[in-house]
Amino acid sequence: MKEAQVVGESLGAHFRVPIEKRISGAEMVGKHKTSMLQDVEAGKPMEIEGMLGAVIELADVVGVKLLL
């Protein structure tokens, strides 16, 4: 999440909600399974490209090194 934010900020985006607050908000949702976990459990491929492809491509454009 931090790397995606760095890429966004490099492109001029401003994030009003800190990462820590986003994570704590997600924790408050309670017990549920994300769609990615449901896919893994069902033996389906994860949609990594759909979730991270644009971030990886934009990181390359703005020269941000990602730890993949």
CA atoms within 13 A on the CB side of 13: 13
Classify residue 52: in a domain, yes or no: yes
Q: Flag whether pLDDT at 68 surpasses 80.
A: no
Asked, for residue 22, whether it belongs to a domain, the answer is: yes
Could you tell me if residue 67 is inside a domain?
no
Q: How high is the pLDDT of residue 66?
A: 92
68 found inside a domain? no
Give how far Cα 64 sits from Cα of 16, 45, 46, Å: 21, 27, 24
Q: Which structural domain range is residue 35 located in?
A: 2-62
User: Each residue of 4-50: pLDDT tens digit?
Assistant: 999 999 999 999 999 999 999 988 888 888 888 999 999 999 888 88
| pTM passes above 0.85 | no
How high is the pLDDT of residue 2? 93
* 57 inside domain: yes
Number of structural domains, the chain?
Answer: 1
Q: Is residue 48 part of a domain?
A: yes
- Distance, in Å, from the CA atom of 34 to the CA atom of 54, rounded to the nearest integer, reads 20
